Structure 1
Amino acid sequence: MSAADSLLRVPAAREAAYWWHLYRRTWRGTIVISVANPLLFVVAMGFGLGQLVDARDSTYLQGSYLGFVAPGLLAASAMQLGFINSAGPVFQSARVGGNYRAAVTTPMEPTDVLTGHLLFNAFRLLTASIGILVVLVGFGATELKDAPGSLLAAVLTGLAFAAPVAAFAITVERPAKLSALFRFVIMPLYMFSGTFFPAEQLPDWLERLVWVSPLWHGTELCRGSGSTAIHLLVLLTLIAVGYLAARRTYTRRLTA
C-alpha cells in the first residue's frame, strides 16, 4: 500500500482530497488572486501612493511606505482568503445535496469533515501566500530572510478567520448573512487594522478597538513588530476557539 493510500484511510484526509480534486480544475483562476492582485496593489499603493508618502515624511513608518504596506497586504489577503474559502463553500456544502451531507452518510463524522476542509484551507493559504511573497520579494518590498516568518504569520491569520467563519457559516440559512458579515466585519477590518496606515494615527478609542482585531495581530506579526508571543497567542486562540465552536455547530447541523 502506497503512502498516499495509507493517508487516505484517515477520514479527514479524504475530505481534504475532495476539495483538492475540485481545486485541480480551478487552480488557474486563483493565479489572479494570488499574483495579479498583489502585483497591482504593490504598483498602486507602493510605487504610486508610496512615492507621495515617502516624498513628504515617512520616518514614522520606520522605512518606506512600500515596506510598511507589503506585510499588511499579505495579512489582509490571507484574511480574505480564509473568509472566502470558509463562507460560501461551507454554506453550500451543508445544504441538502451538498458535499457535507454526502460525506456524513459514510463512516466519516462531522468533525472529520470540518478538519479535512480546514486542512485544505491551510493548503490554499500556504500556496496563495507564497505567491504573494514572491511578488513582494521580487519588488523589494520584503526581504527574503523574513519570508518564512511572514508566511507562517499569514497562514495563521487566515486560519484565525477560517475556523470561526466555518463555525458560523454552517448555521446560516440565507447567504445574505454571509454577505453582511463580509461587508460589515471583514471590510472594516481590512481598512482599519493597520494595513494601509499605522493604527496609532486613529483616535485613541478606535486604536484600542483595533488592538483586539485579529487582522491587526496578523499584520504586526507579518511585520515582526511588537510582542511576537502575544500576536501568536491571539491567533492560535482564535483558531482553537473557532475549531471547537465549529465542532459543535457541524455536529448539530449535520446530524440533525
Structure 2
Amino acid sequence: MSAPTSTRPVMASRELAGLLTNYRRTWRASIFSSILAPLMGLVALGMSLGKIVDAGPGADSFGTVGGKPVTYLLFLAPALLANAAMQTAIGESTYPVMGAMKWQKTYHAAIASPLSARDVYLGQVMFIGLRILMNCGVFLGVMALFGAVEAAGPAGLGPLLALPAAVLTGLAFAAPTVAWAVTQERDTGFSLVFRFVMIPLFLFSGTFFPVSQLPAVIQPFAYATPLWHGVDLCRGLALGTATAGSVLLHVGYLSALVAVGVWYGAHTYRRRLNP
C-alpha cells in the first residue's frame, strides 16, 4: 500500500537522502561537465568574443540598463546560466535514470522499502533540482568574479533572483525527461535528445543573439521553447529589465511544464516499478 498523500514529501526526501549519500562518493567525476565547461564558455564567448562584438556595429542591439548600453558579456552570461540549468537537468535525467532502473537496480531496492514509485520519482527530481542549484550557484559566483553581474532589479538583487529562475528552468526540463527516461530500454533516444533537442535549443533560444534577429518564420518556434522562457527570465531579472507580466508569463509556462512532468512521471514510474 502506498504512503498517504500527506507523508509523500517525507518519503520522497528519504529517496533524496539516499541519492545524496551516493553523490558524496561520485561528485568529483561531474566537476568538468558541471562547472568547468560553462566556465570555459563564459570566458571564451563572453569575454573574448564579447570584446569583438562590443566593438562592432551591432553593439547597441542588446539594450540599455541605467542609461548605459548592455555589453555582450552582460547579455550572454544570464543566458548561459539558464543553459547550464538545462544541460545539468538533461544530463542528470537520462543515463542516471536508466542506470538506476536497468543496470544498478537501485530503484528496485527503493521500491522494496516503504517508498512508493511516486516517492522514487519525486526524490529523483528533487535530487536533480539540488544539482541544478549547486551548479548554477557556482556559475553565478563565477559570473560575479568575471564582472558579468551588475546590481539591478529590486534592491539590486536581480542577479540573485536569476538563480531560482534558472533552477525552475532546469526543473521544467528535468521533470518530463525523468518521466520519459524511465520508460526507455535502450539509450538510443538519449543521443537524439542531445543532438536534436538540447543543441538546437542552445543555439536558437536567444542565448547568443536576440530571437528577433532570426528569420520571421522561425521566431514563433523559438518563443515557444522552454529554454527561451528560461533565458528571457534569467536575463530580465539579472539586468533588471523584467516586467511583472513577463515574469508571470515565464514562471507560469515553466511551472506548467514541471506540473505536467510530475503527473507524467507518477504514471511512468508506477508502470515500470509496479507492473
- Which TM bucket (shorter chain)? over 0.9
Task: Describe the superposition over 1:156-184 as per-residue Cα deviations: whole angstroms up to 9, x where unpaired.
Answer: 00000000101110111110111111111
- 1:229 equivalent to 2:236? Answer no
Encode CA deviations 1:163-212: one digit per residue, 9 max, x unaligned. Answer: 01011101111101111111111111111101111111101111110011
Residue of structure 2 in register with 1:60 after alignment: 61
User: How many matched pairs?
Assistant: 249
- What is the CA distance between 1:95 and its match in structure 2? 1.7
Contact 2:80 2:207 in 1 (8 A): yes
Residue of structure 1 equivalent to 2:87: 80
Query: For 1:1-256, what aligned pairs fall within 5 Å after superposition?
Result: 10-57=10-57, 58-62=59-63, 63-95=70-102, 98-143=105-150, 145-224=157-236, 225=242, 227-256=246-275
Q: CA deviation at 1:98?
A: 1.1
Q: Secondary structure at the match of 2:218?
A: helix
Q: What is the CA–CA distance in structure 1 between the aligned matches of 2:43 and 2:28, rounded to whole Å?
A: 22
SS at the partner of 2:115?
coil
Bigger shift: residues 20-29 or 199-208: 20-29
Q: Distance in 2 between matches of 1:178 and 1:39?
A: 25
Q: Measure, in 2, the Cα distance between the counterparts of 1:93 and 1:26.
A: 15
Percent identical pairs in the alignment equals 44
RMSD between aligned residues: 1.6
Please say if residues 81 and 125 of structure 1, whose CA atoms lie closer than 8 Å, have aligned partners that are also in contact. Answer: yes
Distance 2:35 2:90 in 1: 18
1:48, 1:65 → 2: CA distance?
Answer: 10
SS at the partner of 2:217? helix
CA distance in 2 between partners of 1:143 and 1:100 (Å)? 44
The answer to whether the 8 Å contact 1:38/1:135 transfers is no
Question: 1:135, 1:29 → 2: CA distance?
Answer: 20
TM-score normalised by L of structure 1 = 0.93
Work out whether residues 34 and 88 of structure 2, in 8 Å CA contact, stay in contact via their aligned partners in 1: no
* Partners of 2:27 and 2:170 in 1: CA distance: 19
Q: CA deviation at 1:32?
A: 2.7
* 222-231 or 188-197, which deviates more: 222-231
The 3-state SS of whatever aligns with 2:234 is helix
Whole-Å Cα distance in 2 between the matches of residues 149 and 73 of structure 1?
15
Task: Judge conservation of contact 1:35–1:135 (CA < 8 Å) in 2.
Answer: no
Deviations 1:190-238 (A, max 9, x none): 1110111111110111111001100000000001146111000110000
The residue matched to 1:108 in structure 2 has which SS? Answer: coil
Deviation of 1:101 after TM superposition, in Å, equals: 1.2
Cα distance in 2, alignment partners of residues 49 and 141 from structure 1: 14
Q: Distance in 2 between matches of 1:100 and 1:247?
A: 14
Deviation at 1:89, TM superposition (A): 1.1
> Can you give the 5+ residue segments of structure 1 that lack an aligned partner in the other structure?
1-6
Residue 140 of structure 1: SS of its match in structure 2?
A: coil
